[in-house]
Amino acid sequence: MPIKIRGRLARGIAAACLVAAGLTGFSGAAAAQTTVRLMHVEANPNYVAVWRKLADDYQTQHPGVTIDLQFLENEAFKAKLPTLLQSNDAPDLFYSWSGGVLKAQAEAGAVQDLTERMQADDGAWAKSFSPAALAGSTINDKTLCVPLKMSMTGFFYNKALFEKAGVDGTEIRTWDDLMAAVEKLKAAGIVPIAGGGGDKWPLHFYWSYLALRLGGEPAFTAAKAGEDGGFTAPPFVEAFAKLKELGEAEPFQPGYLGTRWQDTLALFGDGRAAMLLTFDDSANRQAAAAADGKGIPREGLGTFPFPAVSGGASQGSETFGGVNCWAVSRNASDEAIAFVRWFSGPEAQRVMAENGMLIPAAAGADAGIKDPIVKGFAEELGRSSYHQIFLDQDLGPSVGRVVNDMTMEVVSGQLEPDEAAQEIQDAFELE
């Protein structure tokens, strides 16, 4: 579901999230050792270390609980999780993308409805999150997961490579500006954009953001309501036309159709491509993926929002990204819920924010953001008039796969824009 964000993200809601035994039904007398299993897609070893330290602190405070953190590569996680959720070996807590995927998991009975717990004690738990984050974790009036972070995508660029090509990143405001930068970078012998076609979803960012810039909130609202031609409406077809234009300009590295996401981050971090359309926390991610483990230094990185498109209906303040959360599997214990309440609370999320890991969902925890790059994204997200969740998640797994496939088909010149839009609409109608 899309999220409305009016004004800045809510701040300053004081909510104690260190969970006392009486709030969860878990007491110190629950003498038997309990293991809480958490599964995530995190690949950055620096972030993993922060998470492990937080989990160790919790274990120290709760001697009867062991926190088992499991990390899988993104695609391996997505492949393994459905099987686990159908078995008795499901993790207690797992990283989730809000939207259609979470809705499908709930309909299959794989996750707990947390609404009653969130609203207990006059909504104390619910009020500990920013309203936008909680809205993104709520589907059909049911809170189906515990908010972890807000995220959005934008362009990162290598200042040194831009300077070599005579490109000013601060002046890229329109799609035409971006295309002109691509040509200048190519003329200077520089790969303009690191492309991650091997996992498909990284390239759907382009079509989705183009559609958002062309059609604004009304186009997405109408399409998801089955109105005005749905995803065959002009903004979506025109977005594919712009994507085809980008593909024909050959902005990506050779072999980009097979390049996996971690390799895409490494390509950018190693200075082998000038730009990357990526997540708000990618300053750290590119450094971790780079061959030297350092990547592009902070002072060498620039960012700019996805550019405007001439003639588009966008207000210019719409954003595209996600609301990520912790889903609680159907057999998770009270101890697991106690842990996730603490782990998603302002104390723990402030630590994550201080380490540049995320734009926190816990109200007030964004005060911990020190990284100026992440802070810039957080401020832009705070000004957003409409936040559209990643379409390959928002539209559900079946339609999402078609979105990713069609993006790849069009950018590589294998399918025409109107045909791709019709394929998505056909899949949406069958969902």
> Which residue is listed with tokens 């001439």?
310
Domains and CATH numbers, the chain: 21-151+320-387 (3.40.190.10), 152-318+390-430 (3.40.190.10)
- 0.85 exceeded by the pTM? no
Q: In terms of pLDDT, which residue wins out, 307 or 135? A: 307
Rounded (5°) CA angle 269-275-279:
75
Closest CA to 158 of 32, 267, 3, 49: 267
Over residues 197-211, the pLDDT tens digits come to: 999 999 999 999 999
3-state secondary structure string across the chain: CCECCCCCCCCCCCCCCCCCHHHHCCCCCCCCCEEEEEEECCCCHHHHHHHHHHHHHHHHHCCCEEEEEEECCHHHHHHHHHHHHCCCCCCCEEEEECCHHHHHHHHCCCECCCHHHHHHHHHCCHHHECHHHHHHCEECCEECCEEEEEEEEEEEEEHHHHHHHCCCHHHCCEHHHHHHHHHHHHHCCCCCECCCCCCCHHHHHHHHHHHHHHHHHHHHHHHHCCCCCHHHCHHHHHHHHHHHHHHHCCCECCCHHHCCHHHHHHHHHCCCCCEEEEECCHHHHHHHHCCCCCCCCHHHEEEECCCECCCCCCCCCCEEEEEEEEEEECCCCHHHHHHHHHHCCHHHHHHHHHCCCCEECECCHHHHCCCHHHHHHHHHHHHCCCEEECHHHHCCHHHHHHHHHHHHHHHCCCCCHHHHHHHHHHHHHHC
**Residue 13 confidence (pLDDT):** 32
**Residue 32 confidence (pLDDT):** 61
For the chain, give the mean pLDDT. 90
* pLDDT at position 355 over 80: yes
In the predicted model, what is the mean pLDDT of residues 213-238? 96
The CA distance from 276 to 286, in Å, is 10
**Residue 16 confidence (pLDDT):** 34
**Residue 98 confidence (pLDDT):** 83
> Which residue is listed with tokens 């990204």?
321
**Residue 431 confidence (pLDDT):** 79
Over residues 259-303, the pLDDT tens digits come to: 999 999 999 999 999 999 999 989 999 999 999 999 999 999 999
